[in-house]
Amino acid sequence: MTEKSKKYISDVLMAIHLIREFTIDIADFNIYDKDKKTQSAVERQLVIIGEALNKLRQVESEIVIENDKQIIGFRNRLVHAYDSIDNSIVWAIINRHLENLKIEIENIED
């Protein structure tokens, strides 16, 4: 694995870690939905995850990451269709999908 690939993997893991830190004290969606600062911080890290996975696919085409196309597509929505982002979708990503992505990325590292 190239140094660039390792950096992209590290970027994804750091972004996941930061999202967890940003949301650790947020108990439910209603709190998240009212917290614009946390929304902004989380969305920025989701953009980083999507961009890093896109770059990783370009340099390591043999690495398979489940749902990478959807993650990259969501990154594009965050960047280009920012005014139509549904906070409930972001909240679902945080609570249902990030941990699986983290495990998958950590397995690539090994």
Question: Which tens digits make up the pLDDT trace of 16-75?
Answer: 999 999 999 999 999 999 999 999 999 999 999 999 999 999 998 888 898 999 999 999
pLDDT at 11 over 80: yes
Residue in the structure block whose two tokens are 């990503």: 93
Residue 64: per-residue pLDDT: 86
Residue 109: per-residue pLDDT: 66
Residue 1: per-residue pLDDT: 84
Residue 108: per-residue pLDDT: 87
Residue 110: per-residue pLDDT: 57
The domain locations on the chain are 3-109
Q: Which of 109, 12, 21 is nearest to 67 (CA)?
A: 12
Active site members: 75, 80
Give the pLDDT confidence of 70-98 residue by residue, as tens digits: 999 999 999 998 888 999 999 999 999 99
Residue 83: per-residue pLDDT: 87
pTM of the model: 0.93
**Do the Cβ atoms of 106 and 13 come closer than 8 Å?**
yes
Residue 14: per-residue pLDDT: 98
